[in-house]
Amino acid sequence: MKILIINGPNLNLLGTREPEIYGNTSMQDVLDQLKAQFSEHELMYYQSNYEGGIIDRIQNDDYDALVINPGAFTHYSFAIADALKNLKKRKIEVHISNIYQREEFRQKSVTAAYTNAVLSGFGIEGYRLAVLSL
């Protein structure tokens, strides 16, 4: 199975950005761990700070399932939500922090309704749980 992992804005800074919220582990470390544990699958990764780049990547048909952390786009990107709605593949939304314990504007996901499941608040373990469930 080819599993695409997409991260949205500022998630390129994992490991250094607000470690009290997001931890000290870089995304490269997360990917290395996932590839070691799930070597029978092909894991692909894409990160963008641009909404259109994420939409273009979702629409590229070179994968079987999707793990997405839309970052801040979670809360207001109806364009990404529409791309997910039109995607007829299994997809899981991941959030490192528990968005329901954060600021009010972060407690609403406009993208979640178009995914099969949401993992929120498990830290970087959420990525592993998402791949495991796929």
DSSP-derived secondary structure for 3-62: EEEEE-TTGGGTTTS-HHHH-S--HHHHHHHHHHHTTTSEEEEEE-SSHHHHHHHHH---
60 in a labelled binding site: no
Neighbours of 2 (CB within 10 A): 11
pLDDT digits (tens, 9 = 90+) for 36-79: 999 999 999 999 999 999 999 999 999 999 999 999 999 999 99
Pick the catalytic residue from 41, 45, 95, 100.
95
24 in a labelled binding site: no
The whole-number pLDDT of residue 22 equals: 77
The whole-number pLDDT of residue 107 equals: 66
97 in a labelled binding site: yes
pLDDT confidence bin for 20, thresholds 50/70/90: confident
41 in a labelled binding site: no
Mark whether 41 is an active-site residue.
no
pLDDT confidence bin for 108, thresholds 50/70/90: confident
Could you tell me how far CA 14 lies from the centroid of its own chain?
13
Q: Which domain holds residue 117?
A: 2-133
Euclidean distance between CA atoms 56 and 106, whole angstroms: 24
CATH number of domain containing 107: 3.40.50.9100
Pick the catalytic residue from 22, 50, 100, 114.
22
Give ∠ CA 42-7-30 in degrees, rounded to 5.
Answer: 55
Domain count for the chain, please give it: 1
The structure tokens listed for 90 are 């299994």
Mark whether 95 is an active-site residue.
yes
